[in-house]
Amino acid sequence: MTNPIKSIATDAKAAATQASPEMAKLKKVAQQFEAVFLRQMIGSMRSASLGEGMFDSSATEQFRDMSDSKMADAMAGKGALGVADLLVRQLGARLVGQAAKTQEPPK
């Protein structure tokens, strides 16, 4: 007797392989979304400072923003929060479903 769960998983893997270019795009966009989210979160944390520092100026603020942006990109690349993974899981299921529909022979 064949295991129906394994056959479903095999079908899903075949469909995911078919949808791999779209899945790669989805992963990239989800990672970019996570980076934007992290930038916003870090910016909000920076704006909650308790006072001005001795060396604060518009130049240091600009470089701090650039540093925060790079840090957000690095954190998103490593999947620090897991937002990108959740988006890929949720939206990837739709891509797999669409790929499976295109693989079905016409009745």
Please report the pLDDT score of residue 36 as a whole number: 94
Output the CA torsion sign for 76, 79, 81, 86.
positive
| Average pLDDT over all residues of the chain | 79
Please report the pLDDT score of residue 27 as a whole number: 92
> What single letter denotes the amino acid at residue 73?
D
Least confident of 11-20, 57-66, 95-104: 11-20
Pair 88, 20: CB distance under 8 Å: no
Q: Is the pTM of this model over 0.75?
A: no
If you ran DSSP here, which 8-state letter would residue 106 be given? P
Q: Where are the beta strands (DSSP E) in 4-95?
A: none
